[in-house]
């Protein structure tokens, strides 16, 4: 396949380059696009340096466009790219369009059959949650989900990571910490706001988890309440999850389901202090799940903890997995 990465110099763009190489994706030609100020920069793929090009206002000469340059760019250009390429879009621009499939390959690969040359990649928080929730939903039928997230600085891109690192240096030096990417200084702080507040008091990030869970799991009846919090870690989103199920469930039964689930690593041995953490989940393709225990609130309920690298399963890895689906005849 001829592949283009739009937003190649950003945090997700750089990960897309690595994932294509790590998964030995069949690339016959790779084009890298970014803003005009990044044009000419060299990036290495499979030992070869490729020059970044300024993004043109025209269709791109490739089979698949992996877009990660923000919803504004995607809204403007994805319909143009889609005239001759399949667009896998990492932004929120098309996720809620009824005729655009929203795909997590381990969960709803069949939905790709309806694509009209634009396919949406889910929000990173949702993708990480559903890697654990969906297999449990299939086994025990989830009805109500309460999620509190611990989202790292890289969820806001390369600028978020840089702001955290620079702000930490300023804080430790006793100087005032400036902030532009985040609503407040992030070093040694947590911020219970990600994205804009909505009329119902939830942020848009929190509502995305509800909307996308219902669409991906094809269950409009499932109810989700999310509180999204930015924390001062560089990579990996972690989530504390409480679920009420229709069917009786035990921690032992849940562990059996999750241990067989694709893309999941069961890390659940409190006696030896093994549980999901950003330190262990960073750079991993799989999502870690642990701290599984019976809910003290719901009769048919579980509590568990999830940690996943949102630059990978929450973004670049999931996009490349979608591209892999396109290689299968049933997906076309």
Which residue numbers belong to the known binding site for substrate?
Answer: 151, 230
pLDDT at 332 over 70: no
Which residue numbers belong to the known binding site?
Answer: 9-12, 37-38, 95, 151, 154-155, 230, 310
123 contacts 205 by C-beta, under 8 angstroms: yes
Q: Tell me the residue range of the domain where 319 lies.
A: 2-121+315-327
- Stretch 150-172: mean pLDDT: 96
Domain presence at residue 36 = yes
Q: Chain-wide mean pLDDT for the chain?
A: 96
Question: What per-residue confidence (pLDDT) applies to 329?
Answer: 61
Which residue numbers belong to the known binding site for NADP(+)?
Answer: 9-12, 37-38, 154-155, 310
What DSSP letter does each residue of 175-243 carry, written as one string? PPPP-SSSSS--TT--BS--SPBPTTS-BHHHHHHHHHHHHHTT-TT-EEEEEEEE-S-SS-EEEEEEE
Is 134 part of the annotated catalytic residue set? no
Domain presence at residue 178 = no
pTM: 0.95
Asked whether residue 13 falls in the same domain as residue 45, the answer is: yes
Is 115 part of the annotated catalytic residue set? no
Domain presence at residue 164 = no
**Catalytic residue among 115, 134, 137, 237, which?**
237
Domain presence at residue 185 = no
Domain presence at residue 59 = yes
pLDDT at 14 over 70: yes
| Tokens representing residue 117 in the block | 């040359």
Strands 264-266 and 142-151 turn out to be: unpaired
Asked whether residue 261 falls in the same domain as residue 143, the answer is: yes
Domain presence at residue 286 = yes
| Tokens representing residue 308 in the block | 């996943």
- Stretch 165-180: mean pLDDT: 97
Question: What per-residue confidence (pLDDT) applies to 276?
Answer: 98
pLDDT at 328 over 90: no
**Catalytic residue among 110, 115, 124, 184, which?**
124
Q: Which pLDDT tens digit goes with each residue over 246-300? A: 999 999 999 999 999 999 999 999 999 999 999 999 999 999 999 999 999 999 9
Q: Which pLDDT tens digit goes with each residue over 25-59? A: 999 999 999 999 999 999 999 999 999 999 999 99
Which residue numbers belong to the known binding site for phosphate?
Answer: 95
| Terminal Cα distance for the chain, rounded | 14
pLDDT at 330 over 70: no
Domain presence at residue 168 = no
């Amino acid at each position: 396949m001829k592949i283009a990465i739009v937003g190649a110099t950003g945090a997700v763009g750089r990960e897309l380059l690595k994932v294509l190489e790590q998964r030995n994706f069949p690339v016959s030609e790779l084009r890298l696009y970014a803003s005009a100020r990044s044009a000419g920069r060299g990036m290495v793929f499979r030992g070869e340096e490729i020059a970044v090009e300024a993004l043109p206002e025209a269709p791109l000469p490739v089979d698949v466009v992996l877009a990660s340059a923000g919803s504004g760019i995607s809204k403007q250009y994805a319909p143009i790219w889609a005239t001759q390429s399949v667009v896998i879009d990492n932004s929120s621009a098309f996720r809620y369009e009824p005729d655009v499939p929203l795909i997590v390959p381990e969960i709803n690969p069949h939905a790709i059959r309806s694509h009209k040359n634009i396919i949406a990649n889910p929000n990173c928080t949702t993708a990480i949650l559903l890697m654990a929730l969906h297999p449990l939903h299939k086994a025990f039928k989830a009805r109500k989900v309460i999620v509190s997230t611990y989202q790292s600085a890289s969820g806001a891109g390369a600028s978020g990571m840089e702001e955290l690192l620079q702000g930490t240096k300023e804080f430790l030096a006793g100087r005032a910490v400036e902030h532009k990417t985040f609503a407040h200084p992030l070093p040694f702080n947590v911020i219970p706001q990600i994205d804009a507040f909505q009329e119902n008091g939830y942020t848009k990030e929190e509502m995305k988890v509800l909307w996308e869970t219902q669409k991906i799991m094809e269950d409009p009846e499932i109810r989700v309440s999310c509180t999204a919090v930015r924390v001062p870690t560089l990579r990996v989103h972690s989530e504390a999850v409480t679920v009420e199920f229709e069917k009786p469930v035990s921690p032992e039964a849940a562990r059996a389901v999750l241990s067989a689930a694709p893309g999941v690593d069961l890390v659940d041995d409190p006696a030896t202090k093994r549980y999901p953490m950003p330190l262990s989940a960073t750079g991993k393709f799989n999502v870690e799940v642990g701290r599984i225990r019976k809910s003290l609130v719901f009769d048919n309920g579980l509590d568990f903890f999830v940690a996943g690298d949102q630059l990978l399963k929450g973004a670049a890895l999931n996009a490349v997995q979608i591209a892999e689906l396109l290689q299968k005849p049933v997906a076309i």
